[in-house]
């Protein structure tokens, strides 16, 4: 396993969490990396109860820039990455009695917000992720609930230090969907409330 700075941070976080937490470096845009991730989990666990597809990168060019390199890079992580990881872990999710898939989207991908323009790659990736969430929820068996959330503008590496929301605030709705006893499926949430697509 690579020992880069990012992986060392992941290892440290896993040690702080404890309770058998396993650190694994994953490239969500690489199907073979997702398959290795599945193999690691399958060696240690019989099922997966919660999958949070949280990997994301920004794309800030307007549609008129036609920056296909940026478009491909953002779609590969924000949309296809969620699809690759979900596909790889699907056998373990199916074995859970009550599985939850939570896709981290953005209000910038809602139909109302995309009309503002700008950030084309990012908006399109999140708009598409919302659509994928609906489709997967419709096709999934009843014991696998699939939803997406908008965490808001959060103080992460991507959101920056001036974002108004802490990481804890941004994660709250995902934690709620992962732990609440009865939840719907195929919905879009912010602050534990359903919002429009």
**Catalytic sites, residue numbers:** 119
Q: Residue ranges of the alpha helices (H) in 76-119?
A: 81-94, 111-114
Paired residues of 188 in beta bridges: 148
For helices 120-139 and 81-94, angle between their N-to-C axes, nearest 10 degrees: 20
Assess contact for 85 and 29: CB atoms under 8 A: no
Q: Per-residue b/e over 179-195, b at no fewer than 16 CB within 10 Å? A: eeeebebebbbbeeeee
Nearest to 75 by CA among 144, 126, 141: 126
């Amino acid at each position: 396993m690579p020992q880069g700075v990012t992986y060392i941070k992941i290892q440290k976080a896993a040690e702080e969490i404890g309770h058998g937490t396993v650190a694994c470096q994953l490239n969500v845009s690489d199907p073979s990396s997702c398959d290795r991730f599945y193999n690691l989990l399958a060696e240690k666990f019989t099922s997966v109860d919660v999958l949070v597809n949280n990997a994301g990168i920004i794309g800030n060019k307007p549609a008129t820039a036609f920056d296909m390199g940026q478009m491909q890079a953002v779609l590969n992580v924000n949309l296809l990455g969620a699809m690759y990881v979900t596909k790889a872990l699907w056998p373990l999710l199916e074995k859970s009695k009550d599985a939850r898939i939570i896709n981290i989207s953005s209000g910038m991908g809602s139909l109302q917000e995309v009309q503002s323009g700008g950030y084309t790659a990012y908006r399109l990736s999140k708009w598409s992720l919302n659509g994928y969430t609906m489709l997967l929820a419709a096709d999934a068996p009843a014991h696998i609930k699939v939803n997406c959330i908008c965490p808001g503008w959060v103080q992460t590496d991507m959101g920056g230090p001036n974002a108004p929301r802490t990481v804890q605030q941004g994660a709250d709705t995902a934690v709620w969907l992962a732990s609440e006893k009865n939840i719907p499926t195929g919905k879009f949430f912010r602050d534990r409330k359903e919002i429009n697509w």
